[in-house]
Amino acid sequence: MKKLVCYAGFLALLGAMPTVHAADFILVNQDAPGAGLNDLTAAAPVGGNPGKTLGEQRRLVYQFALEMYGSLLNSAVPVRVRASFASLGKNAAGNNILGQAGPTSSYMNFFNRPLPDTVYNVALANALSGAKINVGEDDINSQFTTDIDVGGQGWYYGLDGRTPKGQTNFLDVVTHEIGHGLGFTGDNAASRVVGSPSRIYNRYIRTADGLDWSAMNLAQRNAAQISDKLVWSGPQVTAEVPLKLQPELALHISAPAAAVGDNPFATADFGSAASSTAFTGNLVQATYADAGNVIHTDGCLPITNGAALAGRIALIDRGVCNFSQKTLYAQQAGAVAVIIASNKPDALAPMAAGDANVAAQITIPTVLVTQALGNQLKANLQGLVAGGIGPYADHRLAAVLTDGVDAAGHAMRHVKLYAPPGFLPGSTISHFDQLTVPTALMAPSASATVIAQADLDLTPALFMDIGWTVNRGNLNLLDCATSVPVSSPGGLIPGANAMTNLKLCAKTSATVGDYRDCTGRYIQSRLEAKLFKPAQAQSLKMCLVGSKADAQYAAWH
């Protein structure tokens, strides 16, 4: 259970600012013997994970994520993270809940807090105060689903980011969920009475029109959280948006007049890339007749109006069958591209194939559009024309990057928060928008483009906005300095990745000689992937020789 405590005057005797100290994250295994993190099912090493059982592989992935955060964040107080596996079911949108996490408690008015009467997740409150506020208690509670992992096939437990199609990267999801526990957590409109203390996260929520969450009344907050127009106004994230995110593109509809406009869309992981050329031309609704001669528009059986569809863009309703099957039938009928209209009023998300064999046959592009746009298009089929894909004419309508101004009136870009028309408890507000390009680690749905072992995108910047001290200096290995930055603006974490892998080498090596071999292979792999510069690799090597390697192995084994 989460709790809020007002801790005025706590540790006032200490007086001084806490000493900067790399955070120590502690895994608190909550699973019963033989289950979850303790599952004894035999497993073959995969993707750099040497675990010999399912449970051991899960623990190694979890510890990997904790070590990354430990290198990245500074805190003199250890962060204790509970972890377990359970059946988590589905969310309100009907999707599997992969994981869930949050703080075990929250505090305000503690010693050394940056802002008075402001609520902080306990791990951050401890870091800011420099001492354990919640004495004897854990700080973050997390759970991960067993629903997709029947026979150990749903989760990918590799540490290399090379997730096979059809599996979900466990490291990405663990890293995401711990992020919520560390402070990537907002209060929705019903969570806190207007005028009561605000969570630090909510201090940086703003509408695209410039109205701050703290200035809204309850009716405005209720409307804003389902408006699809909330942005993050924190200065560090805003400064790093141009380093990480590409400008969002719109699907243009150019005729008839009633349908003209710029519209957000989601892409597919099958077929060719969505191009402006492919989505320029006439739109025709794809149809087929069933045995009773009833006309259907869901594209789940071979299309029967192929003569009208040939050489044109197919408009198809979502539902009944998977995305790739719809696209293949449209392609076989002669369509050059497909627009799928959502059948529910929630935010868009990238489309997965659903059937690899079907997806392999697809050569045309597919995009998903909102239910509202789909209804508008179907109401204006006569003379319906798509005008290609390109920048939004009005950036205030952009799906991810929104025009705004700072206090001095200078134009800025803000990244959107997840605020879909259909409110989703646990997801709404507490994520970046699903359609960031590339997909953000803290988007509400897992994505194959996330590579958490190497790139945390805007997550460290948001942590800085809410008060965490993020390590952007060079990696230090037991007082041996390297030239590898722990992290850098834009979210790359080469030093945090190095520290994590070196510790993994130590923990899984039988001898110091094995440790040296393991670290050598790691450095070479980073060089080949061009993730380390030659000088950085050489500085790492110099810290991994002789007595230095002996000391590291002894400390981390």
pLDDT tens-place string over residues 382-419: 999 999 998 877 655 554 555 555 555 545 678 999 99
Supply φ then ψ for residue 462, to 5 degrees.
-65, -40
Contact 234, 462 (CB under 8 A): yes
Give the DSSP H or E segment for 341.
strand 337-341
Q: What is the mean pLDDT of residues 224-250?
A: 88
Amino acid letter for position 124: L
Amino acid letter for position 241: V
In tens, the pLDDT along 352-371 reads 887 788 989 999 999 999 89
Confidence of residue 220 (pLDDT cuts 50, 70, 90): very high
Provide the pLDDT for residue 208. 81
pLDDT at 306 over 90: no
pLDDT at 86 over 80: yes
70: helix, strand or coil: helix
- Inter-axis angle of helices 494-508 and 546-556, nearest 10: 80
pLDDT at 279 over 70: yes
Global pTM value: 0.82
| Distance of alpha carbon 148 from alpha carbon 171, whole angstroms | 15
| Distance of alpha carbon 54 from alpha carbon 45, whole angstroms | 10
pLDDT at 514 over 90: yes
432: helix, strand or coil: strand
Contact 71, 499 (CB under 8 A): yes
Provide the pLDDT for residue 72. 97
Q: What is the mean pLDDT of residues 57-65?
A: 97
Peptide bond into 18 cis (omega under 30): no
Provide the pLDDT for residue 445. 87
| Distance of alpha carbon 295 from alpha carbon 312, whole angstroms | 20
Q: What 8-state DSSP symbol labels residue 59?
A: H
Neighbours of 60 (CB within 10 A): 19
pLDDT at 95 over 90: no
Provide the pLDDT for residue 249. 83
Q: What 8-state DSSP symbol labels residue 397?
A: G
In tens, the pLDDT along 428-438 reads 999 999 888 88
Provide the pLDDT for residue 1. 33
Confidence of residue 14 (pLDDT cuts 50, 70, 90): very low
Provide the pLDDT for residue 363. 95
Among 22, 240, 3, residue whose Cα is nearest residue 106: 3
First to last CA, the chain: 35
Provide the pLDDT for residue 407. 54
Provide the pLDDT for residue 17. 38
Q: What is the mean pLDDT of residues 48-71?
A: 96
Among 168, 376, 171, residue whose Cα is nearest residue 260: 376
Contacts for 418 with CB less than 8 Å, ≥ 6 apart:
347, 427, 428, 429, 430, 431, 432, 433, 434, 443, 444
Contact 515, 521 (CB under 8 A): no
In tens, the pLDDT along 444-472 reads 988 888 999 999 999 999 999 999 999 99
Peptide bond into 256 cis (omega under 30): yes
Q: Mean pLDDT in the chain?
A: 88
